[in-house]
Chains A and B, each alone.
Chain A
């Protein structure tokens, strides 16, 4: 059945819009304002047009950070989404086992982000941490404070540990919403486990997967607290992701103009990726029935 058109529904959405607009639009305007001005001191602003934008777009350090960021976010998605789906598929469906699994699974999600970094800072140390000692014990040379690749991998491992449960929880809920007759029909039709996944489960996970991918993409693209605590962006610039670079720019060097210009570019990049993905998923949804 088609939904009725009713523009009075706006009244129901209005409170949310007002609150979000208040917290989002005003700061956004401030940032736009910074991005086109040079702030020399209180009450001393000079309009500089697109100068900051041109400057940051040519900054090689930024290019490096953007590359690292994209690589990191893609790695995060490539690992966490399939792993989360796989976990959701094998999670127990009922009884005490299901309860215990869900609670334990969700635990990493509920640790404040700075604590996450704190745990891994010691946990991954080659001399005194369980993970580091274990890896070195296997005969691999591992030291995340000195080796760039090790540091990058450690941040990735930390993120996988921290966030895969979110994907798994969402997918689990999505799987549980599939009515039993779908599975029964698949069995009658002689569908293999793969065919059942491909034609029944995956299409019905579209909604939860969209939100999972969007959340993981956005949040990994803006990751800040955890690597800041764990590696401080080092060694060198190995784990300096966009947010951190930006913070250095804004707070460290107090280059508010370029930082603001960069923030907007950054925001637009995330927005663009998310919008393309969202529209694609929505399109896939429209050509299917609810």
Chain B
């Protein structure tokens, strides 16, 4: 058991090194970052953070990102819930193929699909709104959401549904009052994965927005091109983008620890 006990702390430590580097960079000046190697910041400064927090562009970018990620997470879970229920409870025409088809939509290479996406959302007037990004991201998040929720729902015995119907519950009331609380941890885990994939994606988010709803990731790239490589500010922005994710994972860690099997394959 000895070596395996050491494996996890060792791995976690290694995986923290690049993050440490990010935090370190955010506390250094540009000159120090590019001037030479230093393990610890020689003169730690919060100047980079001050730059970000005093610039409305950054703040707005941060809020914009959170908005479309929030819309995406809520919509994905809401739509995936009934679908996952159908997959977990019934057989129906084409169910297995449908499942794979949902998943296959993740496989479109973004590079070329960006332009049609742009055209599509422009034509219906959603371009440069958080809705466009949220909808586009649903291509990636919804299949996963359905899959994860289906796994959790299959773990709930079908007798519970039948008992509820016999007791005179209507489907919506049964679903909200009885079923949903039983798959609560599934909803938590699903929301985590939706959040994750939407928060870290950049290409679509940048293409489908321009001014009003520019995401923070786009703010980063634009700052870069305007003022050369401002590594310190970039790193500080990176550190800030870590915060919402860390909060979300903190809340769902126990749900993940409870386990899920994702039986549907």
A–B contact via C-beta, under 8 angstroms: yes
Residues of B within 8 A of A115 (CB): 22, 217, 220, 234, 237-238, 241
Provide the bound-state CA to CA distance between A120 and B18, in Å.
7
| Interface stretch (choices B29-37, B43-51, B52-60) | B29-37
CB distance from B126 to the nearest CB of A (A): 11
Complex: chain A residue closest to B93, CB-CB: A7
Q: A3-B90, A176-B257, A211-B147 are in contact. Are A267 and B37 (CB under 8 A)?
A: no
Provide the bound-state CA to CA distance between A17 and B102, in Å.
8
- Which single member of A5, A17, A207 contacts B261 (CB below 8 Å)? A207
Q: Mark A28-48, 1 if CB is under 8 A from B, else 0.
A: 101100100000000000000
Contact A111 B245 (CB under 8 A): yes
- Which single member of B82, B85, B108, B151 contacts A24 (CB below 8 Å)? B108
Main secondary structure of the interface of B (DSSP, over half): helix
| Interface stretch (choices A70-78, A182-190, A232-240, A275-283) | A275-283
Residues of B within 8 A of A174 (CB): 259-262
Contact B199 A263 (CB under 8 A): no
Residues of A within 8 A of B254 (CB): 99
Contact A177 B261 (CB under 8 A): yes
Provide the bound-state CA to CA distance between A105 and B264, in Å.
26
Does A103 count as interface, using CB distance less than 8 angstroms? yes
Residues of A within 8 A of B249 (CB): 102-103, 106-107, 110
- Which single member of A5, A22, A107, A243 contacts B246 (CB below 8 Å)? A107
Provide the bound-state CA to CA distance between A113 and B215, in Å.
13
Does B16 count as interface, using CB distance less than 8 angstroms? yes
Provide the bound-state CA to CA distance between A214 and B102, in Å.
13
How many residues of B sit at the interface, in one of the four size bands? Answer: 35 or more
Does A204 count as interface, using CB distance less than 8 angstroms? yes
Provide the bound-state CA to CA distance between A87 and B7, in Å.
8
Contact A243 B37 (CB under 8 A): no
Does A169 count as interface, using CB distance less than 8 angstroms? yes
CB distance from A7 to the nearest CB of B (A): 5
- Which single member of A92, A98, A107, A267 contacts B15 (CB below 8 Å)? A107
Residues of A within 8 A of B180 (CB): none
Does A149 count as interface, using CB distance less than 8 angstroms? no
Does A196 count as interface, using CB distance less than 8 angstroms? no
- Which single member of B35, B86, B146, B245 contacts A128 (CB below 8 Å)? B35
Contact B235 A30 (CB under 8 A): no
Does A152 count as interface, using CB distance less than 8 angstroms? no
Does A224 count as interface, using CB distance less than 8 angstroms? yes
Does B100 count as interface, using CB distance less than 8 angstroms? yes
Does B66 count as interface, using CB distance less than 8 angstroms? no
Provide the bound-state CA to CA distance between A278 and B243, in Å.
35
Provide the bound-state CA to CA distance between A247 and B112, in Å.
7
Main secondary structure of the interface of A (DSSP, over half): helix
Does B210 count as interface, using CB distance less than 8 angstroms? no
Does B138 count as interface, using CB distance less than 8 angstroms? yes
Provide the bound-state CA to CA distance between A103 and B15, in Å.
12
A interface size (C-beta, 8 A): 106
Contact A128 B142 (CB under 8 A): no
Contact A109 B245 (CB under 8 A): yes
Does A153 count as interface, using CB distance less than 8 angstroms? no
Residues of A within 8 A of B200 (CB): 109-113
Residues of A within 8 A of B90 (CB): 3-6, 9
Does A151 count as interface, using CB distance less than 8 angstroms? no
Provide the bound-state CA to CA distance between A114 and B87, in Å.
36
Q: A3-B90, A20-B102 are in contact. Are A177 and B260 (CB under 8 A)?
A: yes
Residues of B within 8 A of A145 (CB): none
Provide the bound-state CA to CA distance between A275 and B265, in Å.
12
Contact A104 B109 (CB under 8 A): no
Residues of B within 8 A of A92 (CB): 8
Does B178 count as interface, using CB distance less than 8 angstroms? no
Does B105 count as interface, using CB distance less than 8 angstroms? yes
Does B122 count as interface, using CB distance less than 8 angstroms? no
Residues of B within 8 A of A89 (CB): 4
Complex: chain B residue closest to A251, CB-CB: B111
Residues of A within 8 A of B244 (CB): 110
Complex: chain A residue closest to B220, CB-CB: A114
Contact B112 A23 (CB under 8 A): no
Q: Mark B127-146, 1 if CB is under 8 A from A, else 0.
A: 00000000110110011101
Provide the bound-state CA to CA distance between A99 and B249, in Å.
10
Residues of B within 8 A of A246 (CB): 109, 111-112
What are 15 A-B pairs with beta-carbon distances under 8 A?
Answer: A3-B90, A9-B90, A10-B92, A12-B83, A12-B85, A13-B86, A23-B117, A23-B135, A109-B196, A112-B201, A112-B202, A115-B234, A129-B37, A165-B15, A208-B260
Beyond A90-B8, A112-B216, 11 extra complex contacts between A and B, CB < 8 Å:
A23-B135, A92-B8, A99-B253, A101-B8, A107-B16, A108-B15, A111-B19, A118-B231, A131-B18, A218-B106, A263-B111
Q: Which residues of B approach A to under 8 Å, CB–CB?
A: 4-5, 7-8, 11-12, 15-19, 21-22, 25, 33-37, 39, 75, 79-80, 82-83, 85-87, 89-93, 95-96, 98, 100, 102-113, 115-117, 119-120, 135-136, 138-139, 142-144, 146-147, 151, 154-155, 158, 189, 196, 199-203, 216-217, 220-221, 231, 234-235, 237-238, 241-242, 244-246, 248-250, 253-254, 256-265
